C-alpha cells in the first residue's frame, strides 16, 4: 500500500484532538509528550508496521511495538483505538475508575494492543530486546520497535540494555528516542545533560539515524530508512527531534505541559487549531 | 517420629541445575538467562547442551529481568539465574512492573539465599527476599528443602503458567526427599504426623526440624512437622488442619522473622484460629561472614533453637496464652 502523507497527517490531527480531550476529561495525564510523538505513532501503526488488530499477546508473525515512556499513554491509546484494536468510545474512560485505559499502559486490564506495562521508566528497551530475541529463536523475521523519552535514558537500565543489544547483534530492533529536550523539572540540559546522544549511542555500537519527528514526510523517510538498516548485525536507533506539545501553539517551547491538563478555555483554543478529520469519539 | 536418613549431601542449587536441564529437554520453549554466575547457579550443563537457548547478560540484573519479560512474548519460558539478593532487592521494580504487573511467565531462580551463603557476608546474604516476593500480587514463591525437592520444583514451575520466585541455596545439605517425587505447587508436605505441636518449616530448616523432632521425641514430645515449600500460595488448609489438632505452632525459616513464612502463617491463624506461635528465624538483622554452619548456629537457626521454641510454645499453650 502506497504511503499517503496527507491521510497520515489528517489521522495525526484527529489523534491530537483525542489526546487533548482525554486529558481534559479526567483533568490529568501527559499531553506534552503525547502531542510530540503523535506523528511517529501514527506513522508506525498506519503505515510502517506489519501488525494485526485481532490482538494476540504473542504477536508471532507481526511487528511489535513497546512504549517505554508509558506516561504518553494518551497518544498510544488513541492510535490503538483509531487503528482498530478497540472502539474509540472507550477513550472516554481514560484514567477513570474501572477503565482498561489506566494512567500508564498495562496488560493487567487486557487492553488489546498493550503487551507490557510501562510507566516506571527505563525498562522498555530490555523488554524490546527480549521480544526481539524470541523472534530470532522462533525464526520470525518481523521487527520490534520501541519508543523512549530522552529524559528516560537517564535511567541506568537503558545503558545495560544498550550494551547488551550491540554485543549480541540484536539487529531486528529499531529503538527511537523522543528528543524533545524537556523533562518534568525543566530542560534535559538543566536537569541532567544528555551530552552528545549520537556519539554516545554510536559508541555503544548502535546504528544511529536522525529524523524530524514532527514532519510526517521525514518520519516516514526515517522509519523506512531504519528498516533497511536491520539484519545487518547492529541494533538501530533513531534520534527523533520533536517539539513537546506539537500542534498546539501555547503548549510548545516549554516543559510546562508535560503533565498537566488544559482547562475548558484552553481546550477550546487547542481544538480550534486541530482539524476534526475522523470524527471525535 | 518417622525415620529419615540420608546417604549424601548435595546443594539445592545443583537440584535446580539438574531440573533446568531436564525441563529444557522436555520443552523447547524453556530458555535461560544468567548475570555472570553460570557456575554458581549450576546452569553450565544447560549452557553446554542448549547454547542457542542460553543468554549471558553480564552483570546487569535489571536488564536480565526486562529481557526475560520480553522473551515471554512469542511463547518462551525464561528462567533467570543469579544470587537471591540480586534476583530480588536489586531488581524489585523491574520484577514488579515488567514481570508481576505485566503477568509474564518468568521464573526468577535465586541461589545463595539466606545466611548460608556464608563467607561473602551480609552484602550478599539476603534475608528479606521471601517477603519482597510474596508481597507482589500473582507471584508464586517456592523455597525447597533439598536437592531432590529443588529439582522437582524446577520441573514443576516450567509447567506452571505465571511468574515464580524459586529460592535455593549454596551449601550441601542432606538429601532426604524422594528422588522421584511429584512436586505440587501450593501443597504442603507432611513430614511427620504428631499431636503436640505443629512445626512448619521451609528450605534448609526442614532438615533441622527433623533433627529437632527426633530430640523432641526422646523428650516425649510428639511434633507434627510440615514442610511448607510453597510460601505463596500458602496451603492454608494444611496449616489449619494441623493447628486445630496441636493447638500451637513453631515456624522455621532461613529468613528475617519479619515478612517470611512465619508471618504468612500468623496471618492465617489470626484470621481463622488464633494460636500461640514461636518463630525460628533471623531476628531482624543482617548476617555476617562465617561458615554456613557457624552462621546457622549464631543466628538461631539450629535444631536446638527449634527444640527451645517448641518448649516455649508448649508452655504458652499450657498456660493458655
**Residue after which a domain boundary falls, among B145, B174, B203:** B174
Per-residue pLDDT of chain B (321 residues; tens, 9 = 90+): 999 999 999 999 999 999 999 999 999 999 999 999 999 999 999 999 999 999 999 999 999 999 999 999 999 999 999 999 999 999 999 999 999 999 999 999 999 999 999 999 999 999 999 999 999 999 999 999 999 999 999 999 999 999 999 999 999 999 999 999 999 999 999 999 999 999 999 999 999 999 999 999 999 999 999 999 999 999 999 999 999 999 999 999 999 999 999 999 999 999 999 999 999 999 999 999 999 999 999 999 999 999 999 999 999 999 987
Asked if A130 and B66 come within 8 Å (Cβ–Cβ), the reply is yes
Interface of A with B (CB under 8 A): 57-60, 64, 66, 106-108, 115-120, 122-135, 137-138, 140, 156-157, 160-161, 163-164, 168
* Position B276 in a domain: yes
| B-chain residues near A123 (CB < 8 A) | 62, 66, 93-94, 97-98
A142-176 per-position pLDDT tens digit: 999 999 999 999 999 999 999 999 999 999 999 99
Start-end of H helices in chain B: 12-26, 44-49, 61-71, 84-87, 92-94, 129-134, 147-159, 205-218, 236-246, 261-272, 292-298, 303-319
Nearest-by-CA chain B residue for A58: B74
Same domain, B163 and B229: no
Same domain, B268 and B295: yes
B40-77 per-position pLDDT tens digit: 999 999 999 999 999 999 999 999 999 999 999 999 99
Same domain, B37 and B163: yes
Q: How confident is the model at residue A1 (pLDDT cuts 50, 70, 90)?
A: low
| B-chain residues near A162 (CB < 8 A) | none
* Position B51 in a domain: yes
Q: What mean pLDDT, rounded, does chain A reach?
A: 97
**Residue after which a domain boundary falls, among B144, B174, B204:** B174
Going by the DSSP 8-state scheme, the letter that residue A138 receives in this structure is: T
Same domain, B204 and B167: no
* Position B180 in a domain: no
Q: What is the pLDDT of residue B101?
A: 98
Same domain, B152 and B229: no
Category of B124 on φ-ψ map: left (φ > 0), alpha (ψ -120 to 50) or beta: alpha
In three-state secondary structure terms, A236 is strand
**Helix (H) or strand (E) run with residue B89 in it:** none
What CATH number corresponds to the domain at position B209? 3.40.50.920
Q: Which residue of A108, A116, A160 is in closest CB contact with B63?
A: A160
- Reference B49, options B65, B26, B68; nearest CA is B26
* Position B17 in a domain: yes
> Is the CATH number 3.40.50.12280 carried by domain A5-271?
no
- Reference B75, options A135, A160, A78; nearest CA is A135
Q: How confident is the model at residue A87 (pLDDT cuts 50, 70, 90)?
A: very high
Same domain, B73 and B143: yes
| B-chain residues near A127 (CB < 8 A) | 66-67, 69-70, 98
For chain A, give every domain's residue range. 5-271
Q: What is the pLDDT of residue B321?
A: 73
For B287, the domain range is 189-319
* Position B182 in a domain: no
Q: pTM of the full predicted structure? A: 0.97
* Position B183 in a domain: no
* Position B13 in a domain: yes
Q: What is the CA radius of gyration of chain A?
A: 17
Same domain, B126 and B221: no
* Position B2 in a domain: no
Q: Which residue of B60, B68, B70 is in closest CB contact with A160?
A: B60
Q: What is the total count of domains within chain B?
A: 2
Query: Would you state the cell numbers that stand for residue A232, as one nine-digit string?
Result: 545487518
Interface of B with A (CB under 8 A): 31, 52-53, 55, 57-58, 60, 62-76, 78, 93-94, 96-98, 101-103
Amino acid at each position: 500500500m502506497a504511503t499517503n502523507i496527507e491521510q497520515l497527517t489528517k489521522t495525526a490531527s484527529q489523534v491530537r484532538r483525542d489526546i487533548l480531550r482525554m486529558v481534559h476529561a479526567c483533568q490529568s495525564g501527559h499531553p506534552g509528550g503525547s502531542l510530540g510523538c503523535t506523528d511517529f505513532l501514527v506513522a508506525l501503526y498506519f503505515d510502517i508496521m506489519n501488525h494485526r488488530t485481532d490482538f494476540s499477546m504473542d504477536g508471532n508473525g507481526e511487528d511489535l511495538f513497546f512504549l517505554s515512556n508509558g506516561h504518553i499513554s494518551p497518544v498510544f491509546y488513541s492510535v490503538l483505538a483509531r487503528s482498530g484494536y478497540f472502539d474509540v468510545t472507550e477513550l472516554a474512560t481514560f484514567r477513570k475508575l474501572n477503565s482498561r485505559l489506566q494512567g500508564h499502559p498495562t496488560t493487567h486490564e487486557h487492553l488489546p494492543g498493550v503487551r507490557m506495562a510501562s510507566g516506571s521508566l527505563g525498562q522498555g528497551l530490555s523488554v524490546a530486546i527480549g521480544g526481539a530475541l524470541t523472534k530470532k529463536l522462533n525464526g520470525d523475521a518481523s521487527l520490534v520497535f520501541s519508543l523512549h523519552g530522552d529524559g528516560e535514558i537517564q535511567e541506568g537500565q537503558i545503558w545495560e540494555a544498550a550494551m547488551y543489544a550491540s554485543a549480541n547483534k540484536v539487529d531486528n530492533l529499531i529503538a527511537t528516542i523522543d528528543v524533545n529536550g524537556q523533562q518534568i523539572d525543566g530542560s534535559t540540559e538543566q536537569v541532567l545533560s544528555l551530552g552528545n546522544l549520537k556519539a554516545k549511542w554510536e559508541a555503544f555500537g548502535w546504528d544511529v539515524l536522525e529524523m524530524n519527528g514532527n514532519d510526517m514526510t521525514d518520519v516516514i523517510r526515517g522509519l523506512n530508512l531504519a528498516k533497511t538498516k536491520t539484519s545487518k548485525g547492529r541494533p538501530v536507533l533513531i534520534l527523533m527531534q520533536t517539539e513537546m506539545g506539537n500542534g498546539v501553539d501555547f503548549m510548545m517551547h516549554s516543559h510546562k505541559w508535560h503533565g498537566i491538563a488544559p482547562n475548558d478555555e484552553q481546550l477550546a483554543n487547542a481544538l480550534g487549531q486541530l482539524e476534526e478529520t475522523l470524527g471525535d469519539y | 517420629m518417622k525415620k529419615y536418613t540420608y546417604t549424601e549431601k548435595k546443594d539445592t542449587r545443583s537440584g535446580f541445575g539438574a531440573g533446568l536441564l531436564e525441563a529444557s529437554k522436555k520443552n523447547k520453549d524453556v530458555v535461560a538467562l544468567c548475570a555472570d554466575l553460570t557456575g554458581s547457579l549450576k546452569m553450565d550443563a544447560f549452557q553446554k547442551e542448549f547454547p542457542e537457548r542460553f543468554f549471558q547478560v553480564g552483570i546487569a540484573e535489571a536488564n536480565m529481568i526486562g529481557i526475560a519479560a520480553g522473551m515471554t512474548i512469542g511463547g518462551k519460558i525464561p528462567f533467570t539465574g543469579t544470587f537471591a539478593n540480586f534476583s530480588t532487592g536489586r531488581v524489585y521494580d523491574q520484577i514488579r512492573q515488567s514481570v508481576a504487573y505485566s503477568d509474564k511467565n518468568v521464573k526468577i531462580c535465586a541461589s545463595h539465599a539466606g545466611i548460608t551463603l556464608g563467607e561473602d557476608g551480609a552484602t550478599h546474604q539476603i534475608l528479606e527476599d521471601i517477603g519482597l516476593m510474596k508481597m507482589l500480587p500473582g507471584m508464586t514463591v517456592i523455597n525447597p528443602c533439598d536437592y531432590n525437592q529443588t529439582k522437582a520444583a524446577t520441573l514443576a514451575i516450567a509447567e506452571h503458567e505465571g511468574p515464580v520466585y524459586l529460592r535455593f541455596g549454596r551449601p550441601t545439605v542432606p538429601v532426604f526427599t524422594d528422588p522421584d517425587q511429584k512436586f505440587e505447587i501450593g501443597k504442603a508436605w507432611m513430614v511427620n504426623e504428631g499431636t503436640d505441636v505443629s512445626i512448619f518449616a521451609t528450605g534448609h530448616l526442614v532438615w533441622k526440624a527433623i533433627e529437632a523432632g527426633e530430640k523432641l521425641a526422646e523428650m516425649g514430645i510428639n511434633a507434627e512437622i510440615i514442610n511448607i515449600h510453597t510460601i505463596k500460595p500458602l496451603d492454608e488448609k494444611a496449616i489449619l488442619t494441623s493447628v486445630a489438632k496441636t493447638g500451637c505452632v513453631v515456624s522455621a525459616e532461613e529468613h528475617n522473622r519479619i515478612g517470611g513464612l512465619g508471618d504468612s502463617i500468623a496471618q492465617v491463624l489470626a484470621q481463622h484460629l488464633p494460636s500461640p506461635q514461636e518463630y525460628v528465624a533471623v531476628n531482624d538483622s543482617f548476617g555476617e561472614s562465617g561458615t554456613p554452619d557457624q552462621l546457622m548456629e549464631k543466628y538461631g537457626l539450629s535444631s536446638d533453637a527449634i527444640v527451645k521454641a517448641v518448649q516455649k510454645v508448649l508452655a504458652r499453650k499450657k498456660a493458655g496464652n
